[in-house]
Structure 1
């Protein structure tokens, strides 16, 4: 099964925003990850001022929807309100993830090629030829309980 969810991007206030959304929709966060949780990568260094910011957060809303988000962590330039979102696609196979990625990225811009990640997903990001941001993911590793 493939699912579509909204992914919001913030410039340092993601945690405050998601605490607000939780107060509106109820429920509990399925995941809260901070930039300090990431393995060190000299290609994408995280400054001390960003280490406590949100790398990824997810809030289930209803039975089939998840609101997700992150801070920029100092990467990706300034946030432009109104375009600070991506459509997140979660697929049921690596082949389907690759197919969606190839089709959506045609005449667009790949911002992160499809690759296995430290959190266990096969994941990539792109902006399509119409300027819409997409995140495509296949969970290679089984989900772990927190």
Structure 2
């Protein structure tokens, strides 16, 4: 399992991550992914070029992930919800177990489910108000 920070922005993720790379170095795992890249999604024009996901790899064991908020979906970024602890789990089952236990008594933003980027993903706040994300990237031929 890998634990890494996930930072949320209000339309400044691309600018922030370009700055972080200029200072810290590293490489973007697969570039910037925009909300307009979501298959079949109806995204307001002013939100299409907001960042859905970016991953700055600093070393094999260190990375910073981030995204922009989506105001049309009711998301607002403010101090306290702009950081998540993100778990890159070793198996789909491990992710499910962590999600069920950590989210109990908390507030689920997105349940643990298969996503279009070929992964299982969840986001939630635990009963103490800490924001979490869980991601498991499916291996070849795995559902």
What's the offset of the Cα at 1:82? 4.5
Runs of 4+, deviation exceeding 6 Å: none
Alpha-carbon separation, structure 2, partners of 1:18 and 1:76: 23
**Displacement after TM superposition at 1:141 (Å):** 4.1
**Structure 1: runs of 5 or more not aligned:** none
User: How much does 1:7 deviate?
Assistant: 0.4
- What's the TM-score, normalizing by structure 2? 0.91
Q: CA deviation at 1:28?
A: 1.8
TM-score by length of 1: 0.89
2:85 matches 1:67: no
Give the distance between the partners of 2:68 and 2:124, measured in 1 at CA.
18
User: After the TM superposition, which of the residue ranges 50-59 and 133-142 deviates more from structure 2?
Assistant: 133-142
* Residue matched to 2:33: 33
Residues in 1 aligned to 2:57 and 2:96: alpha-carbon distance in whole angstroms: 26
List gaps (5 residues or longer) in structure 2. Answer: none
Aligned residue among 92, 95, 119 for 1:94:
92
Question: How far apart, in 1, do the equivalents of 2:27 and 2:58 lie?
Answer: 9
1:63-89 deviation line (CA, Å, top 9, x unaligned): 301100000122343211353011110
Instruction: Give per-residue Cα distances to partners, 1:73-124, cap 9 Å, x unaligned.
Output: 2234321135301111011111100110011011111111111110000111
Residue in 1 that maps onto 2:109: 111
2:22 equivalent in structure 1: 23
Among 34, 46, 50, the residue aligned to 1:49: 46
